[in-house]
Amino acid sequence: MIDEGKKFDLAIMDVVLPPEDMKALTLADCQRTGLRLMAAMIRAGVCSRFYVVTVLKDLKEEVEKVCEDAHVVFKFQYKLDSEPEELKDTIDRLFEQPVA
């Protein structure tokens, strides 16, 4: 859908994706692949709001930089352990924030 030029109001991403180099399959490699995809989506104007779920706390600064540099709205969460109502409230708050 992204290749077809579709635009999205919100992307909920678990940024653990297999890297292009399948020889390097560490969790950090997978997280960085997800971050590169997210940055590419931002550059292409695919989405301006992201809910980013990760299992590496140290990735937070990189996610913040990518999002803040592009002026997109984001929420970073270490592991998705929210109750459904809490998740809905978080997403509602993301939509309350204006995008650039």
pLDDT digits (tens, 9 = 90+) for 17-69: 666 666 667 777 777 777 888 888 888 888 888 888 776 677 788 888 888 88
Contacts of 32 (CB under 8 A, 6+ apart): 19
DSSP H/E element including 14? strand 11-14
**For position 64, what pLDDT does the model report?**
86
The string of pLDDT tens digits covering residues 1-14 is 777 888 888 888 87
Output the pTM of the full model. Answer: 0.73
What is the per-residue pLDDT for 91? 86
Report the helix count and the strand count for the chain, using DSSP H and E: 3, 3
Q: What is the average pLDDT score of the chain?
A: 80
